[in-house]
Amino acid sequence: MGPTDSSYFGELDISSDKSVRFQFAEHVRIITMKNDAKADYIQFTILTTLFTVGTSILITPSSLAQALNQDAWLVPFFSIIPAVIFLGVYKWLFNHQPNKTIVEKMQEILGSWFGTCLSILFIITAFLAAAMVLYDVSRFIKTVFMPETSVIFINSLFTLLLVYGLMSGFNTLVRMVQIMFPFCVLLFVMMVIALIPEIKIQNIQPIFEAPLYKYTYSTLSLASIVYFPLIFFLMLQPKELQHPKNSFKSFIVGVFIGSLINASIILLNILVVGSNVTSIQEYPAYHLAQKIEIGGFITRVEVVIALIWLLTSFVKLLVYFHSAFLGFTQILNIKHKKSFVIPMAFLLIVISVDIFPNSIYENKFNATVWIGWITTFAIGLPVLLIVIGVLKKRIKGK
C-alpha cells in the first residue's frame, strides 16, 4: 500500500473528505481531553471528605474510649483547635505559588540539597502511610470476612485496582469515587436514622471526669489521624485539580463534612453501645452497625459500614500513593512517569505485608511514633518553610 492509497480505509475515504477528517480529529481530541481532564471542585470536595473520614471511622472510637471512657465524644470538638492551626499554615503554604507542589516549594525555599533531603523524607512518609492503610484493609477483611485468605492476595487485589486507575489517569479514579459517594452518604444517613431509637443519653454521663492531659493527648492523637495527613494534598492540589488557585474553599468544605461524619460515628458509639463495649471492640463502628434491626427482617446491615470504610480507605491509599509517586518522579525529573507505577505498587505490596507484626504493635506505633512524625511534617515543616520564605523575601527586598 502506497502512502497516497486511501482504499485501505474502505468507505471512509479520509484523504478525499476534509469534513470526515475534521470529525475524526475532533473525536480524538475530545477523548484525549477526557483522559487528561483534571478534577473539578466538586470532585475535590468529595475526595477531601472521604480522605478526612479515612481509616478513622472504624478504628478511632476504640482508642478514644480506652483513654477517656464516656468523654470520648468530646475529642472531635477539642480537635478543632489543632485543625485550625494546621489549616492556617496549609493555606499560607498553598497560596505561596499554588501551581507548585510542596516538594517543588521545599527545593525552591530551602535550596536544592536541603530541600531534596526533606522531600525524600516526605515521600517516604507518604509511601509508608499508604502501606499502613493497605495493612489495615487486609487485616479488616481477613478478620471480618475471609479469615482463610492470604494477606498478600487481598493487598494485591486492592493494589491492582489502584494501579489500573492510575494508569488510566488520576481523574478516572476520582470519577469512580464521585459515582459511589452519593450511595455511601445515603447509606450512612439511613444507618444514623436507624440507630436513633437505640440512643441512651446516660451513656455520656458524667462529663469531664478524665484528667486534662488525657484530653490533650487524645486530641492530638485524633488530629494526627484525621487532619495532619491532609498535608499530602499539597502534592495533588497543584497538579491534579482544575484552577488550583481557587480550590481552598472546596478543601475546607470537604474537611468540615468529613469531620462531622467522624464526630457522628464516635458519638453514636458512646450513645448506643457505651464506652466500655466501644473500648474493647477492635472495630467498634462495625459492631455498632450490627445493632441495627428494622422490623425484625432487616438485619446484618453492618456491610454498609464496611463498604463505606473500604471506599474511604481506598481514597486515603490513593492520595498517599499518588503523592509519593508524584514526589518521586519530580525529584528524579522522570518524563515517562507511568512506567514507575507498577514497580512502586509491587514494593507497596511487599512492605504492607510486613510493616507491622500485629495489630498491637500498630496501635502502639500510632499512639507514639506516628503522632510526633506526622506533626513534624504537617506543622513543623510548613512553619519552617513560612519562616525561611519570609526571611528570604525581606533579604531580597533589602
Q: Is the dihedral of CA 286, 291, 295, 297 positive or negative?
A: positive
CA atoms 138, 372, 94, 249: torsion sign: positive
Calculate the CA 329 to chain-centre distance. 20
| C-alpha cell at position 315 | 481514597
Tens of pLDDT along the chain (398 residues) come to 444 444 333 444 444 444 544 443 444 344 334 445 678 889 999 999 999 998 888 888 888 998 888 899 999 999 999 999 999 999 988 888 888 889 999 988 888 889 899 999 999 999 999 999 999 998 888 888 888 888 899 899 889 988 988 888 888 888 989 999 998 888 888 888 888 888 889 988 888 888 889 999 999 999 999 999 999 999 988 888 887 777 888 899 999 999 999 999 999 999 998 888 888 888 888 888 877 776 666 666 777 778 888 889 999 999 999 999 999 988 888 777 778 888 999 999 999 988 888 888 888 898 889 999 999 999 999 999 989 988 888 887 76
Give pLDDT, residue 306: 83
d(CA 280, CA 258) in angstroms, rounded, equals: 25
Closest Cα to residue 369, out of 129, 77, 118, 58?
Answer: 129
Specify whether domain 43-393 bears CATH 1.10.8.60.
Answer: no
What does the pLDDT read at residue 8?
Answer: 36
Q: What is the pLDDT of residue 260?
A: 93
Give CA–CA dist 93/387, Å, rounded: 11
Contact predicate 272/260, CB 8 Å: no
Q: How many CA atoms lie within 13 A of 194 on its CB side?
A: 21
Please tell me the predicted confidence (pLDDT) of residue 299.
Answer: 66
Q: What is the pLDDT of residues 292-342, one digit of tens each?
A: 776 666 666 777 778 888 889 999 999 999 999 999 988 888 777 778 888
- Distance in angstroms (rounded) separating the CA atoms of residues 209 and 70: 9
Q: Is the peptide bond before 61 cis (omega within 30 degrees of 0)?
A: no
d(CA 28, CA 168): 16
Angle CA 160–163–164, to nearest 5: 85
| 246, burial (CB in 10 Å: exposed 0-12, middle 13-18, buried 19+) | exposed
Long-range contacts of 59-62 (CB under 8 A, 24+ apart): 59/136, 59/225, 59/283, 60/222, 60/225, 60/226, 60/262, 60/266, 61/265, 61/266, 61/269, 61/270, 61/278, 61/284, 61/285, 62/278, 62/279, 62/280, 62/281, 62/282, 62/283, 62/284
Rounded Cα distance between 172 and 119, Å, is 27
pLDDT for res 173: 87
What is the structure's pLDDT at 379?
A: 93
